[in-house]
Amino acid sequence: MTEIPHISKDRFVEILQDDKLVQHDDLLIFQTIYKQDKQEASATDLARIIGWTDKGAVVGRLVGVGKRILKKYDIQQREKDDGTKAFWDFFFTGYDKGTFFIYKLKPELKEALEECSLVDKEKLATFQNTYLFLWNPKKWTWDTLEKDIEQVDKTGKCSQRWSCGRTKTIQTGDRIFLLKLGTEPKGIIAAGFATSTPFYEKHWADENRETLYITIDFEVLLNPVKEPILTVDKLNQNELTQKTRSILHRQNWTPQSSGSIIRQELAEELEAVWFDFLTTQNIRHNPFIPSDTESQKTYTEGTPNQVTLTKYERNPFARKQCIAHYGLSCIVCGFDFEKTYGQVGKGFIHVHHLQQVATVGKTYEVDPIKDLRPVCPNCHAMLHRQNSLLTVDGLKEIINIG
């Protein structure tokens, strides 16, 4: 049996920067294992966390990237006793744990990922992942669903503790979609944001053992008995664009447990479909139309100048559309975070809703380009400083006069 191949950190940097060698899904495997406890996991766990159907998807991608590396570089490849090649040990060391084989990220690959800013701490702290959670009415009856929907309608959110399976990578601020399975209709009934990292408490179905939970602020919550939901069938219908349908088909919509990650490009398409669904369907409590008690609803933005945000501003799809049109510079003062702070400021900007929520009518339809503008936190705070909101042009005049 030949020796385990050694690849230096510098060579891994070359490999990671060559998108013909390392494709998106390959990088996703490395990034996912980087974020695990002790930077190790089985192929089964990696597939579950990423949202692939089984460990074969992980093994197949490792074989693929390994073959591409061998084709370009003269690297001694280890052969097992039976003569087959072990491509995984380009990237990992490993050991048996019960019936599972555990991959452990090689230090050289870890350092290369960090040097390429693919998993640096700042990026991990600011990057928002999207996760798919499950509700099966056959296993747990949601007796307070109607009351919780009323709470969302009145206060803008409903806080829930929810099992996240074995996933430990969820961070505060990550995007959460809730999928109903078990009974028809099956589909997405809620969306919100994680408000905690995973923690252990007694299992919801067995008090003699513990399981992982997070807390979630659901900002959209639908009752599948009384109103339409975004069904799995809808996600696969031909009325979607070919690109969107092709991307959404890559997601396993019947996972075994909560906490599977939705890949970034898929999450972006899902946000677009979800936004279109919410703004076109006849939903009892339209999540983008404030109730009488929700006038000028406040969501705290974590900056020194605390700013109130509407659901329009927090919605990932609306935010993305606004930024794609206007860019990342403040529309009032022109400040660009990336130009001043470099990589740590890349992609950072607030989004401001031009209209006061109290003046929005019940038939109001959200137009991210017409109604939203990118602003820096300081200008955002000033726009919200008075009871009667300043306009963008009005604040520009104040700056010019000063």
The answer, yes or no, to whether residue 296 has pLDDT greater than 70, is no
Q: Would you kindly state where each structural domain of the chain is located, as residue ranges?
A: 9-119, 128-280, 292-401
Local confidence band at 261 (pLDDT 50, 70, 90 cut-offs): confident
Residue 340, classified by CB atoms within 10 Å of its CB into exposed (0-12), middle (13-18) or buried (19+), is exposed
Q: Provide the pLDDT for residue 28.
A: 86
Mean pLDDT of 367-392: 83
Rounded mean pLDDT, 127-153: 91
**What single-letter amino acid sits at 8?**
S
Q: What angle do CA 251, 252, 254 make, to 5 degrees?
A: 145
State yes or no: pLDDT of 126 exceeds 60.
no
Confidence of residue 374 (pLDDT cuts 50, 70, 90): very high
Q: What is the pLDDT of residue 293?
A: 41
- For residues 188 and 227, is the Cβ–Cβ distance under 8 A? no
Bond from prior residue into 185 cis (ω within 30 degrees of 0):
yes
Domain 128-280: which CATH class?
alpha beta
Q: Which tens digit of pLDDT belongs to each residue from 320-331?
A: 889 889 999 999
Q: Please, which pLDDT band fits residue 266 given cuts at 50, 70 and 90?
A: confident
Residue 387's pLDDT is 58
Q: Which of 161, 193, 198 is nearest to 174 (CA)?
A: 193
Distance separating alpha carbons of residues 311 and 374, to the nearest angstrom: 15
DSSP bridge partners of 101: 96
9-119: CATH topology:
Arc Repressor Mutant, subunit A (1.10.10)
Q: What are phi and psi of 39, to 5 degrees?
A: 55, 50
Three-state DSSP state, 85: strand
Rounded distance, CA 402 to CA 399, Å? 5
Written as six digits, the tokens of 30 are: 């490395």
Prediction pTM value: 0.61
| CB-CB contact of 104 with 93 (8 Å) | yes
